[in-house]
Amino acid sequence: MDEFYVPVSSIRYVYTDEGGEPVSEVKGPDITHDRRLAHWMDAYGDELVRLAYGVLKDSYLAQDAAQDAFVKAWKGWASFRGDCSEKTYLIRILMNTCRDYLRTFWMKRLDRRITLDKLPEPYADAPMPDRTVIEAVLSLPVKLRCVILLHYWQQMKIREIGEALSLSPETVKKRLTRANQKLNTQLKGWYYNE
């Protein structure tokens, strides 16, 4: 029987079975802190998984990376200086986590064998989109891909991307320019107008 988590009140987590009956409950070490974690997962969980997928190109690793990011963010929140928004804070941790994954020897060898046909299937009721653009973006080198994902998909500003990737705004701009040049070439006559 699968268990799933439901934050039923502000003071406790209750684990229930499929029928909704409580099977155990655990009080967190800090109520406010735990509510923040629940809020993060509700508000940004899907986005972080999708973003991690865009970087790692593997849906299972994307789940792992999002999990790691939430745990690291939760543990590090006390030392967060408030130098960026909460969302940027989470994305920064996620991107660092993804980078660590990519830097492992194992992942480096594996990554080269991942093919683009492993793109997740869209929902059945959604129209089947053309894969040209997403494949072009996912085939970009990882550091160019990151700025494209953050700028065009997450709609983040140059400064915010710099905060998330620990880069100067100048470097972000250069990477964005290079990524756009590459996409321009690959997507001629597509979304990128000449």
Partner 1 sequence: MNEKRALKRVFDQHLSSLRFQPGSRQVVINRTLGKEAPVMKKKMSLAMVFALVLALMIVTALAAVAVLHSDNANTVNLAREALYQKYGLTPETLGMFPYEGSEVNGAYTLTWTCNTYHASLTGIYVTVVKDGVATASWSYDNVDPSVYASGALSAPVWGQRQLEAALRNPDVASEYSRALDQQDRENNPIETLGHASEPLADGERIWQDEILHEAQPGANDLTAEKAYEIAVQAFAEDFGIDREALTASALQDETFLLRENGRGVWDISFDVMLNGVESECVVRLDGATGEVLSIDVLTGGNG
Kindly tell me the sign of the dihedral angle through the C-alpha atoms of 75, 78, 82, 85: positive
Nearest alpha-carbon partner for 149 in 122, 66, 100, 160: 160
Measured from the CB atom, is 9 or 185 closer to partner 1?
A: 185
Q: Are 54 and 45 in contact (CB under 8 A)?
A: no
How near is the Cβ of 102 to partner 1 at its closest, in Å? 5
Nearer to partner 1 among residue 81 and residue 106 (C-beta): 106
CB of 133 to partner 1, least distance (A): 5
Closest approach, Cβ 178 to partner 1, in A, equals 9
Helices (H), the chain: 31-56, 59-76, 86-103, 105-111, 132-138, 142-148, 158-165, 169-186
C-beta of 85 vs 118, nearer to partner 1: 118
Give whichever of 149 and 161 is closer to partner 1, judged by the CB atom.
Answer: 149
CA separation, residue 46 to residues 59, 77, 118 (Å) = 12, 20, 18
**55's tokens:** 């970087």
**Three-class SS state of 130:** coil
For partner 1, the closer of residues 81 and 105 by Cβ is 105
d(CA 66, CA 46): 9
Q: C-beta of 162: minimal distance to partner 1 in Å?
A: 10
**DSSP string for residues in 24-76:** EEE--S-HHHHHHHHHHHHHHHHHHHHHHHHHH--HHHHHHHHHHHHHHHHHH
In the bound state with partner 1, the residue whose beta carbon lies nearer, of 59 and 86, is 59
Q: How far is the CB of 50 from partner 1 (least distance, A)?
A: 4
Give the nearest distance from C-beta 81 to partner 1 in angstroms: 20
